[in-house]
Amino acid sequence: MFDRIAILDWSAAGTPKTGKDSIWLAVADASGVRSENIPTRMQAEQRLMALMAEGDRLLIGVDFSLSLPAAALDRLGMDAFGLWQHLAAHHSDTDKNASNYREIAADLNQRLEGEGPFWGNGTKADIPHLPRTKPASTLPEWRACEEVARANGLTPKSCWQLAGAGSVGAQSLTGMPMIHRLREDGATVWPFDPISRVTVAEVYPSIFSAEVRAHLTRHPGMVPDQAQVEMLAQALWAINAGGSLPPPFDVEPSQEGHILGLNHEVALRAAVPTQTLPPRLRNDCFAMPQGVNWVPVDAALTKLKDALHPIKATQTIQSHQAQGRILAADAVARRSNPPRPNSAVDGYGFAHAATGEGPQKLPLVQGRAAAGQPFAGFVPQGAAVRILTGAILPDGVDTVVLEEDCALDGASVIFDGPVKPRANTRKAGEDVEAGQTAIRAGHILRAPDIALLSALGIAEVQVYQPLRVGVLSTGDEIIARPDMDALPYQIFDANRPMLLSLLNGWGYLPIDLGHCKDDPKLIVRTLNKADVDVILTSGGASAGDEDHVSHLLRTKGTLSSWRIALKPGRPLALAMWDGTPVFGLPGNPVAALVCALVFARPALSLMAGSGWAEPVGFTVPAAFEKRKKAGRREYLRARLNDQGMAEVFKSEGSGRISGLSWADGLVELPDEAAEITHGTPVKYIPYAMLGLR
């Protein structure tokens, strides 16, 4: 149990360095997490010494390997303590980060095998006994813990490699001398020593690579190294806060050392705080230069896209409950699919090497291989085994022949050669390999995605919390519900139920904010108490006398009226209301729907975490005639006739709700002038492509 967790991302840089691939130190404790970027190794060491001196129980996690493969230690005649001492005695470093680690490696090479196993020289000058490229070596590449990491789908780098992207050898050679000095100062090193007030351990921050990627989409200014150390410090802090020493510490001491958290990746990843709230939208994010000109639709969309970003925090949930949710971190395969090579058909399996051209007759071994019932024995070369679809290929089998292509004579199977090597088999991981990204952050999870997550052993996923979208109707003439009485001058609210159902189909949490008369006080009260992420209003969005919504947003919020060159549509009021974005849609139901589909849909998708949603349409011949002037884009209520041509609703009146219901999609006519006659290709966007269900 520790009071503080410090995580150090080390660097072997040859000059003082900040930013990416430099030294980062994060410290987590009960008050939260702080991180700093430290330009030199000497300064970092002083910083650690200072932390140690503060008297708290401190865990220092370092991201370089604290030892070498056991065979190398044996050959050097040292244990890990001896290695650290040796390195501390020979390593020199300066306040300008000038380290002699390459000479140290060359010297170790001579003690080990002459021209290796250390390799990689990032300098121009040759260094005797330090090969530039990977030499043949009799020493193992990996320590036992790194073998485990590899089996778990992580990608450790070899301690022997000193140069090249992501190499850790140099970090280890420059870091281990410091470990010796920290130990002289009273620290112990897990799992070599017992745990003490100050304990150093090797850690592997890259287990959070998926979380880091997701985090960076929300914090574009952050350096990955920084996000990584902060996450690991926080996760270890969360696990440690239980009181007793958490399970990741429970390993057998060995001279090769161990990586803290290995085999506990799921628990660690689940412990990363997901409540780091994304930055709020800027209050002026909807500002649009106000001019007389109408803004083209594409310009307005580009402006919106640039202004918005994901605004929801994330959470971890079980994969099988993730339907419709938006993945906030890449889902990485924990297991290959298929996990082992298996048979794609029912038939007979054998070693290809024993077969040739012409008729083949292979004696059958006793027993069979079936899915879930592996064949226990070995199939000798020249023999065959009965095998069923999905069965793991038994030892000795690499090829399967289809049962329909075989004859049986009781003891043997007979078929015509040649058979292709590995015919009718599936390679392990041929679909997805362990460690591969299976589904990218931002994807909306559907049934097939859930199948994939399950197949790959991904039991939990990090998703965005659902976007809460409030819907408010305004207008003195509006009657809230169709089961209420309406006077002749009153109309039933059509927009609110339409928008709520639209939001539901898009996968957001629709929140009914009801209907308000055109009374500013009422509208203010409703907007203020709405507990939502985004608000859609309809009605009162123009600049007329009765247009209270736009008036209100102008005086009390940060309104930007967007005069968009769009039919139907026109007034679109975009505003920030006390930090909440408001989309003021027109009152006409047809215009309200078109504006919601064209503007709100991609914008909400971006804010919810699934990225800007471009509508997908296709080109079909027109079954109508129309002449249109240049200057604004038009959307027509349309559907396909039985010849696959787009026909449009008989009226373009923007109050004609029946046309919305009649249609199955929209025809989009370009901003430019157009002369459409029977058969002219037009762009048709089905409702389904706009998320209408």
CB of 525 to ligand AMP, least distance (A): 19
List Cβ neighbours of 608 (8 Å cut-off, separation of 6 or more). 310, 312, 326, 464, 466, 467, 507, 508
Check residue 561 for interaction with ligand AMP (CB under 6 A). Answer: no
Name the token pair of 565.
């060159």
DSSP state of 393: P
Q: Which of 454, 435, 262, 428 is nearest to 333 (CA)?
A: 435
Q: How many CB atoms lie within 10 A of CB 32?
A: 12
Q: Which is nearer to Mg ion, 278 or 539 (CB)?
A: 539
**C-alpha to C-alpha distance for 668 and 638, rounded to whole angstroms:** 10
Q: Is the dihedral of CA 170, 171, 172, 174 positive or negative?
A: positive
Q: Among residues 364, 541, 565, 685, which is the contact residue for ligand AMP, using CB under 6 A?
A: 541
Q: Which is nearer to ligand AMP, 393 or 523 (CB)?
A: 523
**C-alpha to C-alpha distance for 259 and 249, rounded to whole angstroms:** 9
CB of 537 to ligand AMP, least distance (A): 10
The mark string for 484-513 relative to ligand AMP (x by CB under 6 A, - otherwise) is: -------x-xxxx-----------------
Q: Which does 67 bind (CB under 5 to 8 A by kind): Mg ion, ligand AMP, none?
A: none
Q: Which of 482, 483, 480, 486 is nearest to 539 (CA)?
A: 480
CB of 504 to ligand AMP, least distance (A): 17
Check residue 67 for interaction with ligand AMP (CB under 6 A). Answer: no
Side chain identity, residue 408: L
**C-alpha to C-alpha distance for 263 and 617, rounded to whole angstroms:** 47
CB of 478 to Mg ion, least distance (A): 8
CB of 548 to ligand AMP, least distance (A): 9
**C-alpha to C-alpha distance for 431 and 280, rounded to whole angstroms:** 40
CB of 26 to ligand AMP, least distance (A): 51
Check residue 569 for interaction with ligand AMP (CB under 6 A). Answer: no
Q: Which does 240 bind (CB under 5 to 8 A by kind): ligand AMP, Mg ion, none?
A: none
φ, ψ (nearest 5 deg) of residue 110: -65, -35
Q: Which of 581, 330, 329 is nearest to 464 (CA)?
A: 329
Kindly identify the residues of this chain, within the stretch 509-538, that bind ligand AMP according to CB under 6 A: 538
Q: Decide the pairing of beta strands 342-343 and 425-426.
A: antiparallel
CB of 549 to ligand AMP, least distance (A): 8
CB of 530 to ligand AMP, least distance (A): 17
Cα distance from N-terminal residue to C-terminal residue, the chain: 53
- The residue nearest ligand AMP at its CB is 587
Interface segment toward ligand AMP; rule CB under 6 A; list 77-85, 269-277, 474-482, 500-508 = 474-482
**C-alpha to C-alpha distance for 462 and 316, rounded to whole angstroms:** 4
Size of the site for ligand AMP (CB under 6 A): 18
The mark string for 583-622 relative to ligand AMP (x by CB under 6 A, - otherwise) is: ---xxxx---------------------------------
Name the token pair of 581.
């974005």
Q: Which is nearer to ligand AMP, 451 or 491 (CB)?
A: 491
φ, ψ (nearest 5 deg) of residue 587: -80, -35
Q: Which does 325 bind (CB under 5 to 8 A by kind): ligand AMP, Mg ion, none?
A: none
Check residue 470 for interaction with ligand AMP (CB under 6 A). Answer: no
Q: Which does 403 bind (CB under 5 to 8 A by kind): Mg ion, ligand AMP, none?
A: none
CB of 596 to Mg ion, least distance (A): 17
**C-alpha to C-alpha distance for 577 and 557, rounded to whole angstroms:** 5
Q: Among residues 170, 478, 565, 574, which is the contact residue for ligand AMP, using CB under 6 A?
A: 478
φ, ψ (nearest 5 deg) of residue 685: -115, 105
Q: Which is nearer to Mg ion, 117 or 539 (CB)?
A: 539
φ, ψ (nearest 5 deg) of residue 341: -60, 140
Name the token pair of 611.
């990225």
Q: Which does 491 bind (CB under 5 to 8 A by kind): Mg ion, ligand AMP, none?
A: ligand AMP
State whether residue 286 is helix, strand or coil.
Answer: coil
Name the token pair of 532.
């939502």
Q: Among residues 169, 540, 568, 609, which is the contact residue for ligand AMP, using CB under 6 A?
A: 540
Count of positions (residues) in the chain = 693
Rg (Cα) of the chain, in Å, rounded? 33
CB of 587 to Mg ion, least distance (A): 5
CB of 524 to ligand AMP, least distance (A): 17
Residues that bind Mg ion (CB under 5 A): 475, 539-540, 587
Q: Which does 1 bind (CB under 5 to 8 A by kind): ligand AMP, Mg ion, none?
A: none
Q: Which does 429 bind (CB under 5 to 8 A by kind): Mg ion, ligand AMP, none?
A: none
φ, ψ (nearest 5 deg) of residue 104: -60, -40
φ, ψ (nearest 5 deg) of residue 134: -65, 120
Q: Which is nearer to ligand AMP, 257 or 540 (CB)?
A: 540
Q: Among residues 177, 396, 475, 602, which is the contact residue for ligand AMP, using CB under 6 A?
A: 475
**C-alpha to C-alpha distance for 203 and 235, rounded to whole angstroms:** 12
Q: Which residues of the chain form contacts with ligand AMP (CB under 6 A)?
A: 473, 475, 477-478, 491, 493-496, 538-542, 586-589
